[in-house]
A and B are shown apart, each in its own frame.
Chain A
Amino acid sequence: MEARERLFSYSKIYDHEGSEGLFVAAMRESIDHHSRNCDFYRKLLHDSNFSAEEIKTMADCKRIPTIPAHFFKYHEILSVNRENIEVHATSSGTEGQKSQIFLDASSLRLGTKMAVKAMKHHGFISIIPTNYLMLGYEPKKGNEAGNIKVALGMTRFAPAKERVFVLRSLGENYEIDYFGVMKALISYNRQRLPVRIMGFPSYLYMLLKMMKESGIKPLRLNKRSLVLTGGGWKRFDDMMIDKAELYHMVETLLGIPAENCRDFYSAVEHSVAYPECKRHHMHVPIWSRVVIRDVKTLAPLGYNEPGFLSFISPLVSSMPISSIVMGDIAVLRDGKSCGCGIKTPYFEVIGRAGSAKVRSCAIAASELMKEGLDG
């Protein structure tokens, strides 16, 4: 897959115009690969009356049949032999069926390349020893959650001096270790080294709220510290606060500038990460396209129209996830208005699909199955 290799070697990661030809060619290669190597995918294309050869323009890419991300929770569908799978990662969900991804060597290699380039572009690579606060699960044997792997991988972008985890494993369960975290933060504050706080925004919020309520003196962490959040609020949706409000709390309680607070959109089934720019917008890099789709017809919509969030990307060769629909409702915005310097469109997630309570006394799927569309 030559065009795919070249796309991931392309140097300007937000140059959609210059890389469009490569992207379309890489998508053609990707769809061709999946249809040759995956029975399910071949049937899907046949059923949808679509073939890889039809992909000649960006508009054609948007016509590639989509698959709901949830499908891969229940079915192990591969486009390579099982023995070529190097990594099997699952979502961090605590209930119900977990999302999962199987990556082969080439997907991993290109994914790593992509992550390094993105980190470099946003200035997150540093050689100064750094103290880490991980807003997630302490790794333990048998825990395959993708977030842990990603989070640990992320600690390689600046040499780790100390690493403290918010969720400590206590036998079968995980518990928030407020006491340990506060002790670590106070020690980091004294050390004056840059600090990186990474993980779920909900835990960051709980931590900051606790600091505020217990009247702990605000910390003044190194100005070059970073807060990298991702993974959404999950089961803490009801306490979710506005991003701007969260970043303001970080500024006042930890002394880290709001500009250094960056949220990421990432999904286990998609593998391209979308870090916020310094103006807190998630721009689309050259490795993928974001298409917002009509909630009834799945037809592509224009800017500022809400619909299903869907991704197109040739990154993964081990699973046919090159055109996938997420259970999120989002809008796409014209990137030129952002002002951060990146010109590609950015998207905003505005909610989960099917999350409003139906006015009904009939039992809902989410109750019976003990899981909704999350994950």
Chain B
Amino acid sequence: MDNIFRGEGISKADFIHKLSELKAVLQEDIMQEPPSPMAIIEACHILSQQINQAEVIEELVALGIQPWAAEDYVKEAIESLDRDSLLKKLRVELGEDTFQWTTVADGIEERNFPLGVLIHIGAGNALGLSAFSVIEGLLTGNINILKLPEHEGGLSSRLLLELVKLEPCLKPYIYVLEVSSKNTEVINTLFQLANGIVVWGSDEAIRGIRQLAPPTVPIIEWGHKLSFAYFTENPDIEKDMEGLARDICLTDQLYCSSPQCVFYETDSKEELEAFAHRLSRHMAAIDGRFPAAARTMDIQSQITWSHQMVRMEALLGDKRFLTNDNSSFGIMVDFKSGLKASPLFRNIWVMPIKRGELFGLLRQQNGYLQTVGLSCGEGELEALSRIFYSAGVCRITACGHMSEKYIGEPHDGVRALSRYVRRVSRTVGRRSVPGDEANKV
């Protein structure tokens, strides 16, 4: 039973049956004082220590993820649930006095206050990530209804049920429903109860939610992103190319922070090809050390198809294609630059770029930009950073570290927790009003 109603496991049918009473239940619960962040953090901390790592890793491997990547993923998940991490996250994102009234002017106080009911639209592809979205909602004192695609509850639901077991006072704050987004009747009912909608996923998913959401309910969108690497000729270039090859191979480019294109500053075709060959050598080495898991037919067909297209265009002189005997990676050189998505799984576009054209090129995909893995000379960092941030990029990292995170890191340029609260204020005591001056002694 992967659905949860007010902290209790339930079937999908029963959940939908209970929708009619949900409004009254929520109204009752929303008036209560939410559990303190400390109680939630304590429960998460214990949960992180209880997670059966071997079991989760096995589950991820069964989904087609390489064991070392699964280990990394689980390790990172556990770290992010750790007491110190969550405390730091809370303080960085919401300030020291998280939910305390603080005086901001004479007789005026402000504090953070939960939005109320948050509906989380989880992506079907995110390996338990949705549970973390709910935990962010809990930390901010909200009641959380997680909507997942059908048959995707698994890991997220189990984590949340465990959490409730550890801290039963969280029960009224956790709901999970596995239902297709096409079931607009159910979705609309949920949205009528929402004070905020958190949506994870593709443009298509976000567009769908925007159409259904009432105009008065804020939508907090975490969309798919595009990241890339940028190289200028510099003393560290070989080391950075190796780092880039790691960024590509170790994640299979599955994160929004994984590179899909590499730009190399040059206006010479020959120089670009030489760069591609150098990168190809690093790719071959890393790919050899960390062989990819077997690809499903669906993924493999997409990769082969892209390779074939590039091979054909190479015959026309528009592109170049570099790979190994096993075609286990692909360097796709396009002499015409533009931001584009690769078929992932160790396939990357390599394109030339001129500094003067960089900004215009990036702006075209403004809303999608996330991370740049940058390899440049020391003196170039400032100028390049300005271009990248102005064009919409949120993170610049060294190559080899593109998908590393730090505690309290903004997500796509935003501190998530601050989106899940309102800043409320009150004027306390009697203040002087204009016109009262004359009566003053």
Q: Does any Cβ of A come within 8 Å of B301's Cβ?
A: yes
Interface size on B, residues (CB 8 A): 48
Contacting residue for B309 out of A70, A306, A360, A364, CB 8 A: A70
Q: Does any Cβ of A come within 8 Å of B256's Cβ?
A: yes
- List of B residues within 8 angstroms of A361 by Cβ: 123, 125-126, 200, 224-225, 254-256
Contact A364 B202 (CB under 8 A): yes
Binds A, one of B36-44, B132-140, B339-347, B380-388: B339-347
Contact B297 A369 (CB under 8 A): no
Contact B204 A367 (CB under 8 A): yes
CB closest chain-A residue, reference B327: A296
Q: How far, in whole Å, are A298 and B226 apart by their CA atoms in the complex?
A: 30
A306-336 residues at the B interface, CB under 8 angstroms: 306, 308, 325, 327, 329
Q: Does any Cβ of B come within 8 Å of A84's Cβ?
A: no
- List of A residues within 8 angstroms of B63 by Cβ: 359
Q: How far, in whole Å, are A325 and B224 apart by their CA atoms in the complex?
A: 30
CB closest chain-B residue, reference A41: B315
Contacting residue for B301 out of A71, A329, A365, CB 8 A: A329
Contacting residue for B343 out of A68, A74, A365, CB 8 A: A365
Q: Is the interface of B mostly helix, strand, loop or mixed?
A: loop
Q: Does any Cβ of B come within 8 Å of A241's Cβ?
A: no
Contact A353 B301 (CB under 8 A): yes
- List of B residues within 8 angstroms of A44 by Cβ: 312, 315
Contact B126 A364 (CB under 8 A): no
Q: Does any Cβ of A come within 8 Å of B284's Cβ?
A: no
Contact A296 B341 (CB under 8 A): no
Q: Does any Cβ of B come within 8 Å of A249's Cβ?
A: no
Q: Does any Cβ of B come within 8 Å of A127's Cβ?
A: no
Contacting residue for A359 out of B126, B182, B315, CB 8 A: B126
Q: A68-B312, A358-B344, A368-B368 are in contact. Are A363 and B302 (CB under 8 A)?
A: no
Q: How far, in whole Å, are A258 and B73 apart by their CA atoms in the complex?
A: 53
Min CB gap A131→B, angstroms: 36
Contact B340 A358 (CB under 8 A): no
Contact A359 B127 (CB under 8 A): yes
Q: A71-B309, A354-B343 are in contact. Are A363 and B224 (CB under 8 A)?
A: yes
A178-221 residues at the B interface, CB under 8 angstroms: none
Q: How far, in whole Å, are A47 and B313 apart by their CA atoms in the complex?
A: 13
- List of A residues within 8 angstroms of B339 by Cβ: 368
Q: Does any Cβ of A come within 8 Å of B268's Cβ?
A: no
B296-327 residues at the A interface, CB under 8 angstroms: 296-302, 304-306, 308-309, 312-313, 315-316, 327
Q: Does any Cβ of A come within 8 Å of B150's Cβ?
A: no
- List of A residues within 8 angstroms of B35 by Cβ: none
Q: A71-B312, A361-B126 are in contact. Are A353 and B341 (CB under 8 A)?
A: no
CB closest chain-B residue, reference A357: B125
Q: How far, in whole Å, are A115 and B353 apart by their CA atoms in the complex?
A: 51
Min CB gap B424→A, angstroms: 33
Instruction: Provide the B390-422 mask, 1 if CB < 8 A to any CB of A, else 0.
Output: 000000000000000000000000000000000
Instruction: Provide the A34-78 mask, 1 if CB < 8 A to any CB of B, else 0.
Output: 000000100110010000000000000000001110110011000
Min CB gap B15→A, angstroms: 23
Q: Does any Cβ of B come within 8 Å of A362's Cβ?
A: yes
Q: A68-B312, A295-B300, A368-B340 are in contact. Are A327 and B124 (CB under 8 A)?
A: no
Q: How far, in whole Å, are A358 and B64 apart by their CA atoms in the complex?
A: 11
Min CB gap A14→B, angstroms: 29
Q: A296-B304, A306-B297, A353-B305 are in contact. Are A367 and B365 (CB under 8 A)?
A: no
Q: Does any Cβ of A come within 8 Å of B66's Cβ?
A: no
- List of B residues within 8 angstroms of A373 by Cβ: 302, 305
Q: Does any Cβ of A come within 8 Å of B203's Cβ?
A: yes
Min CB gap B404→A, angstroms: 15
Contacting residue for A362 out of B124, B225, B296, B340, CB 8 A: B225
Contact A68 B308 (CB under 8 A): yes
Contact A362 B224 (CB under 8 A): yes
Min CB gap A164→B, angstroms: 31
Q: How far, in whole Å, are A43 and B308 apart by their CA atoms in the complex?
A: 15
Q: A361-B255, A363-B341 are in contact. Are A67 and B312 (CB under 8 A)?
A: yes
Q: Does any Cβ of A come within 8 Å of B142's Cβ?
A: no
Q: Does any Cβ of B come within 8 Å of A356's Cβ?
A: yes
Min CB gap A308→B, angstroms: 7
Contacting residue for B125 out of A74, A353, A358, CB 8 A: A358
Contact B254 A360 (CB under 8 A): yes
- List of A residues within 8 angstroms of B313 by Cβ: 71, 74-75
CB closest chain-B residue, reference A70: B309
Q: How far, in whole Å, are A365 and B258 apart by their CA atoms in the complex?
A: 14
Q: How far, in whole Å, are A14 and B318 apart by their CA atoms in the complex?
A: 42
A102-121 residues at the B interface, CB under 8 angstroms: none
- List of B residues within 8 angstroms of A360 by Cβ: 125, 224, 253-256, 344
Min CB gap A317→B, angstroms: 20
Q: How far, in whole Å, are A298 and B123 apart by their CA atoms in the complex?
A: 33
Q: A357-B125, A361-B225 are in contact. Are A43 and B315 (CB under 8 A)?
A: yes
Min CB gap A335→B, angstroms: 24
Q: Does any Cβ of A come within 8 Å of B260's Cβ?
A: yes
Q: Does any Cβ of B come within 8 Å of A304's Cβ?
A: no
Instruction: Provide the B53-72 mask, 1 if CB < 8 A to any CB of A, else 0.
Output: 00000000001100000000
Contact B297 A329 (CB under 8 A): yes
Contacting residue for B341 out of A68, A306, A356, A367, CB 8 A: A367
Q: Does any Cβ of A come within 8 Å of B157's Cβ?
A: no
Q: List 5 A-B contacts (CB under 8 A).
A: A68-B305, A298-B304, A329-B301, A361-B225, A362-B226
Sample of 6 more A-B contacts, CB < 8 Å, known A295-B301, A368-B339 = A75-B313, A308-B301, A327-B305, A355-B298, A360-B253, A364-B344
- The 9 A-B residue pairs whose C-beta atoms are closest, nearest first, are A354-B302, A353-B301, A359-B125, A365-B341, A363-B224, A295-B301, A356-B298, A360-B254, A361-B256
Chain B residues within 8 Å of A, Cβ to Cβ: 63-64, 123-127, 182, 200, 202-204, 224-227, 253-256, 258, 260, 295-302, 304-306, 308-309, 312-313, 315-316, 327, 339-344, 365, 368
